[in-house]
Amino acid sequence: MIIDVNMHHLPEDLFTNEEVLNGFLTTAPRGFGEIAHMGMTEGGQRQLILEKPAGYQNLNYVEGDYTLESKLKSMDANGVDIGLLRVPVWQEWLRLDTCKVVNDNAADMCKRSNGRLYANACVPPWGGKENLYELNRCIQELGMVGVQVACHYGQLYLDDEVFRPYLKEIAKLNVPVVVHHTPLPVHWQSIYEFTNLRRELGRVMDQATAVGRELFSGMFDDFPEIKFIHTMLGGNWFANYNLLTPKKGKIKEAMSRLDASEGDRILGYLKNNIYFDTTHPASWGKDQVECAIKVCGADHLLFGSSFPVFYNWQAQGVEFMKTLDITEEERTAIMSGNAIKMFNLPV
């Protein structure tokens, strides 16, 4: 079985329903440099574009890419049995009224998929009672299997106190939290001019920063049961395990430039609270993904493609995972077992 835990969802009538479209266009905070507008692709399809700063595109949502039919067609072609839906990036700004529309459409799409699709709840994470009602509605009434959040909201990463009431409610519901990247980290000015730095490294930097703040803030002491699943391999966190948890040396140093006392605590959070999806693994390369599996453990990784940003990412990802020099037990865990267990999927 193959489960893709990162398939993007937008309301199917986004480009034809003026109210829904305005719900997306008007929430991107232009005063903070997020420029949302409509455009056309070279092939004549409408697209929703996000720029930051003006003139530098970070997101392109193309009409026709987000239908149930397009998802099932790709899944059938690539041997994907189940897909988990999330709103790509825009959840950082969406108002509650628009989130309700998004959630209702996702639930309806899942129902029409005959067990092929499941969804994550999309709710503003501010902890107000109406937001908490919607969160509970999504899980208890709409049958959603997890909750999605952005790795930061404005300048606030998820370790900020403002998110504690929302996280407390998630903990009660006992569902995993999918932490999707945003287009750029909070401090983005040094990378925006170059397309690949902006559209790839920006996401990696944002995830790595988010994971680091979650770990070093100690927030999981308050929520030991919560499981976060970060995209983009957590922004290369497999490369940072030892670097950021230094051990005390045998020789006395003139001064302590690094904190060598937190290693066991941080490694405990990584074991108990932090998981990663592989978000288009073929793009990372065989050596890198095998290293991530060796360091993080196959039980902490889940297959994800980020479909339909590139249709090829799902196809290449499925085939790529077959080439890795890992055990079949590890491959099964990454491709389906971990998702079934974490999201409590009825399969």
pTM of the model as a whole: 0.95
**Residue 246 confidence (pLDDT):** 82
Q: How confident is the model at residue 254, as a pLDDT? A: 83
The two structure tokens encoding residue 252: 């006395």
In this predicted structure, the answer to whether residue 262 has a pLDDT above a threshold of 90 is no
- Tell the burial category of 221 from Cβ atoms under 10 Å away from its Cβ (0-12, 13-18, 19+): exposed
pLDDT in tens, 200-228: 999 999 999 999 999 999 999 999 999 99
Place of tokens 């509605």: 137
SS3 content of the chain, % helix, strand, coil (to 5): 45, 15, 40
Mean pLDDT taken over the chain: 95
Buried b (16+ CB within 10 A) or exposed e, 283-292: bbeeeebebb
Query: Are 146 and 177 within 8 A, CB to CB?
Result: yes
Outline where DSSP puts E strands in the chain.
3-8, 35-40, 46-51, 57-62, 82-86, 117-122, 146-150, 152-153, 156-157, 177-180, 228-230, 274-277, 301-302
Q: Coil, strand, or helix at residue 237?
A: helix
Grade residue 111 by pLDDT with cuts at 50, 70 and 90. Answer: very high
Tokens matching residue 78: 């690539």
